[in-house]
Every structure is written in C-alpha cells, then in structure tokens.
Amino acid sequence: MKTKIQACIIDDEQDGRDYISLLLENEFPDVQTVFQAASIEEAYVYLIKNSPDILFLDIQLSDGTAFDLLSKIKDISSQIIFITAFENFAIQAIKNGATDYLLKPIKKIDFIIAVNKALENIRKNKISPSNSPQNNKISLPSLQGFKMISIADIIRCEADSSYTTFYLTDKSKIVVSKTMHEFEELLFEHHFFRIHHKHLINLSHLKEYIKGKGGQVIMTDDSVLDVSVRKKNDFLSRIDFIE
C-alpha cells in the first residue's frame, strides 16, 4: 500500500533528473521519486506495469518524444508535468492531458506551483463523488453536469487514451473524459475485472469464455472482447469466486 505520493522522472539529461529529484526532496518531502529513466524504451517498460501519481516528462528524449511514449501507453492516470526547452510544444502538451508545462531551465517557483496543482488534482480525484458509489450507483460527468448510473446496468467499459466509454444494458453508451484507471479500483468490488488494457467488464454480464492464448469473452450485449495473455490467469481465478 502506498504511503507517499509516487513520482517518476523521465529526462535524458542526468542533471535534469537530479535537479527535479532534489527539488522534490527539499520542497515536497511527502512525494517520493520511485523511478527515473532517460529514454522512451526504459519509461515504457516501467509505465505499462506501474502508475505513478506524478509523471515528470521531458518532451524531447534521445529515442523520440514524450508524445510517442504516451501514444504507446494510451491509458495513463498520472498527473503529467511536461518539461521542455521549447515553447512551441505547449498546445500539444495540453492536448495530451498536461497538468502543467515547465520550461527549461526550471524555475523553482514554477516547479512548486506545478507540483501543488498536481497534488490538488490527486486530492480531488480521491474525494470526487464519481469515485464514491452510493446505493450501487456511480456518477459520470457530462457536458451538462453528471449522470447517475446504476452499476448493475454497466456491461463493460472501453478505454481510448484519456477517455472511457461505458456500454449500458439499454444499448446506450456514455463517453467520459477520464481514464479507465480511475474507475478500475472503484468498480473492482462490484464484480468488475480488467481483462485487457482496453476492456473493463462487469462479470455479472459475462456470457461466455472462449479458450485461446489469452482467450475471448462474449458479453450479454454480444460484444466479443480479447483477454490479454497477462490477465488470463487472474481473470480465470476471479471467475471461480463469482457466486
């Protein structure tokens, strides 16, 4: 169980990584640097298995850009603070869900403001009504406000970058501008399981499992979804506990 806010630093310059790590240590003792990397390849291997609370991400790396990395991961819930020496990346950073955007050389005051913004977002996410199901319902934000949806009516959720689509029993669907990760832990206790990086399913609506390398599931809406090889054993073990 995490006791501190976890941060990752991705920067191809050692001095840059050291400076950010030092600022965190001095200004934010409750934030722990748990991983550092100098390339997209290193960062990818870590981030597909781990979800840090805050990600400091240099835009131009030795083997590509931060946007190349994010396009490979697609479903990341971290507060992303982009770092670069070039101002012309600002719009692209915002489109990729930036919490903030820092220019090199990083000014201490700008760094403190950016991290405080990330910490506030983390705090809000933890206490958000949409993260607190009551009476077996969940609140999904919409352009007009929010919708209260019965959890039992959710057949499955599908991830698409920073968006999640909810497929309901009445054949309607709701697109929410939040990552699936924000709903995964929330819905786990309601018999939901993430069978693939793109698919979170309501096991109560599981109709059939088809054997294979990872296998496939057929849901009550007749959708056919892949089960990832990495998730297969956990998925089959979880099924054994469904009453």
8 neighbors 33 (Cβ within 8 angstroms): yes
Question: Amino acid identity, residue 15?
Answer: D
What CATH number is given to the structural domain containing 20? 3.40.50.2300
Are residues 211 and 119 part of one domain?
no
Which of 127, 162, 193 marks a domain boundary? 127
Residue whose C-alpha is closest to residue 127's, from 165, 50, 182: 182
| Structural domains of the chain, count | 2
**The 192-194 sheet, strands edge to edge:** 173-176, 163-168, 154-160, 199-202, 192-194
Residue whose C-alpha is closest to residue 22's, from 50, 56, 45: 56
Are residues 121 and 12 part of one domain?
yes
What CATH number is given to the structural domain containing 202? 2.40.50.1020
Are residues 158 and 81 part of one domain?
no
Are residues 114 and 142 part of one domain?
no
Give the model's pLDDT for residue 19. 96
Are residues 13 and 123 part of one domain?
yes
Q: Convert the pLDDT of each residue in 124-180 to its tens digit.
A: 766 444 444 555 888 887 666 678 889 999 999 999 888 899 999 999 999 988 888
Split at pLDDT 50, 70, 90, the class of 188 is: confident
Are residues 218 and 134 part of one domain?
yes
Which of 127, 147, 180 marks a domain boundary? 127
Q: Convert the pLDDT of each residue in 53-100 to its tens digit.
A: 999 999 989 898 888 888 888 667 889 999 988 766 655 665 556 788
Rounded Cα–Cα distance for residues 79 and 74 (Å) = 14
Q: Convert the pLDDT of each residue in 9-37 to its tens digit.
A: 999 999 999 999 999 999 999 999 999 99
Are residues 165 and 86 part of one domain?
no
Are residues 188 and 145 part of one domain?
yes
15-19-21 Cα angle (round to 5): 120
Residue 243 scores a pLDDT above 50: no
In angstroms, the Cα distances linking 203 to 58, 143, 184, 194, 209 are: 40, 29, 13, 10, 11
Q: Is the pTM of this model over 0.85?
A: no
| Residue range of the domain that includes 231 | 130-239
Rg of the Cα atoms in the chain: 19
Are residues 86 and 178 part of one domain?
no
Which of 127, 151, 171 marks a domain boundary? 127
